[in-house]
Amino acid sequence: MTGSICKAAVLAGAAALATTGCNSMKQIKHDPYPETARGEVVDNYFGTEVSDPYRWLEDDNSAETAAWVAAENAVTNAYLEQIPFRGAIRERLTELWNYPKEGAPAKHGDWWYYSYNDGLQNQAVICRTAEPGQEGEVFLDPNTLSEDGTVALAAMSFSKDGRYFAYAAAASGSDWVEIRVMDTATGQLTDDRIEWVKFSGAVWAPDSKGFYYSAYDAPKQGVYSSQNQFQKVYYHTLGTPQSADRLIYEDKDHPLRYFAAWPSDDGRWLFVSGSEGTSGTEILYRRVSETKFRTLLPGFANDYRFVDCRNDQLYYMTNEGASNYALRRISLTAPSKIETVIPEHERNLLEGVTTAGDCLFATYLQDAQSRISQYDYDGKPVRTVELPAIGTVGGFDGGKEDSVIYYTLTNYTSPATIYRYDIASGESTLYKAPEVAFDPSLYVTEQVFYPSKDGTQVPMFITRRKDLKLDGKNPCLLYGYGGFQINLTPGFNPSALMFVEQGGIYCVANLRGGSEYGEAWHKAGMLENKQNVFDDFIAAAEYLIAQKYTSKERLAINGASNGGLLVGACEVQRPDLFAVCLPQVGVLDMLRYHKFTIGWGWAVEYGSSDNAEQFPYIYKYSPLHNIREGVKYPATLVMTADHDDRVVPAHSFKFAARMQHAQAGEAPVLIRIESKAGHGAGKPTSKRIDEAADMYAFLFQNIGVPYRPVAK
């Protein structure tokens, strides 16, 4: 890229942004792409023939795939190594990441437990203290579970009496976890070891003698790619081998369902939640003394989420007849008796309900920002909690006897800050605020609303330097997700802040498919309505250009998982609109996603190519199948990982191969394949920084704007 007009962040301390003159950036050429064999595979979908020339890349165990991965990584690494400011970006990211990160303390037994990372530790350490504010001690350091920090805690739980601590450990980012148990008095591991668990942790029985968990049979082949079927619920008694665990629930007629157990605190009732996918549930129940489960809340048209069980009444959240969700309770002795405790809010989404101090705390989303209301158990309002700042809240959870609880608050320019909350008075006081290597006062986040293709108003957060001139020449990174009821609320991201520090504009669009505005917002972006999500994202890009935030020569888009699908679909639909596309661990082959691991669970969101009515609309937007030969596509860096058993890397492999074959322009199409990493959860800090450094180096290089080191 030559003759580019560049914005440079000239920073002295946290100095002002200045405009430089014209600079020439060295144009970098990538090495030739590997020769990727094209097969003759053709599938017939209800009379439509669809070629799949790179089907062989689905075999993640083959020597041919391994050789291709090595060759592609070599091309990508050679390209990235030529970017002169790659090292400077990594150095600054390391500085921004390097601040103490502490979680809100919660009491279990005689101790208060919290997570702590001194700055650059690969995994947060579990610490404890006798009283909040006193010096803590290390209880469990996950960094000691592997030499390279690639074993992470996927779930944690304490027995009701606080005597035992169970954790689910995931290796190299896999969804498979192993459950281990610690004695909190001694800090020693017990002999209990539970394997082949996925999407489950230990759910303790009230008597603290054992726990429930959900597991699959050990896979016979393809540990990280084979389809997972017949999840079962078990009960494990402490001190016994897994082989002796008691089968609590299974469904031999429906192999593609998830199940999870949940016992009442009084030990009288046991519930099993069933789901056919990522939304829509069914609740079964029985007395603990019984053996047969009965249907309490039938599935799978609505969502039901456990909140509490007391006095033989189950408190649960639901969107049944309430798009923005309501809290209800149902009598377990007279199931026809259902009462609304907290009615649906006319405008705001009821995102969650927690309990503490014999009170209910309702977390609402108002235009994707947290609001908290406190109620008693009959739904009588106690107060609206006055939050110290606008942002995203976590916490407001504790025991029945607690008088004080702790919560966190974060936004785009502030890492998680911990506050102490007095349940009786409603007063919040600062407990701990992190010290960071930047000046938050230099930045501002605004929320705008823009029209999508069909006129729907869509919200978007825009974070930038306060002194930035909106002249249409600024680097801009647009991020989105748009699916699975996932809400994108304000949160701190060190790499995004580095981009903003450089004069970039970081934008997060709250697309349909999430549930920022309830189930209606979700349904407007799923199944046959999925194109609305892409239209929303494209409209966001067009708005940013029209309002002079940026230009198409400076605009990059990014998203992960379902957001990777978003980026891939928008890239192939509007290759003229973006300079850089960054799909991460994306669902990119929409015709075969359901054939791997737990992909079948997403059919409730996407539909399935096995369905004659759903195939046409899926095929119409599937990123892999809409790549066109001879098109000039934007610079593209596809990112995936070898242990991703959520969205198997074959999606990214096939997309990158097909895009490289089709590319008619000079912009690079590269793929970065991380080793010993998975879908993202639990990824070591060192790998996160490496990945972000490569992504942003690629971004700056391909919009023709050099990174300017921050003056010390």
Catalytically active residues are 561, 679
Residue 538 has φ and ψ, to the nearest 5°, of -60, -40
Count CB neighbours of 154 within 10 A.
Answer: 23
Q: Residue 24 gets which letter from DSSP?
A: P
Residue 300, preceding peptide bond in cis (omega within 30° of 0):
yes
* Cβ–Cβ under 8 Å, residues 655 and 646: no
* Cβ–Cβ under 8 Å, residues 382 and 376: yes
Distance CA 307, CA 206 (A): 16
* Cβ–Cβ under 8 Å, residues 20 and 26: no
Nearest to 278 by CA among 497, 63, 586, 599: 599
Region class of 138: left (phi > 0), else alpha (psi between -120 and 50), else beta: beta
Distance CA 317, CA 322 (A): 10
Distance CA 419, CA 387 (A): 10
* Cβ–Cβ under 8 Å, residues 307 and 317: yes
Distance CA 588, CA 599 (A): 12
Give me the DSSP letters along 537-584.
Answer: HHHHHHHHHHTTS--TTTEEEEEETHHHHHHHHHHHH-TTS-SEEEEE
Distance CA 608, CA 624 (A): 15
Distance CA 414, CA 463 (A): 12
What six digits make up the tokens of 593? 């996603």
For the four alpha carbons of 566, 567, 568 and 572, in that order, the dihedral sign comes to: positive
Q: Which residues pair with 362 in a beta bridge?
A: 353, 373
What six digits make up the tokens of 105? 């303390």
Strands 392-395, 381-384: pairing is: unpaired
Report CA Rg, the chain: 25
Distance CA 700, CA 504 (A): 10
**Long-range contacts from 517-526, C-beta under 8 angstroms, 24+ separation:** 517/324, 517/349, 518/319, 518/323, 518/324, 518/325, 518/349, 519/303, 519/319, 519/323, 519/324, 519/325, 519/485, 520/323, 522/279, 522/485, 524/456, 525/482, 525/483, 526/483, 526/605, 526/606
- Looking from the CA of 158 toward its CB, the CA atoms found within 13 Å total 19
Nearest to 247 by CA among 213, 273, 207: 213
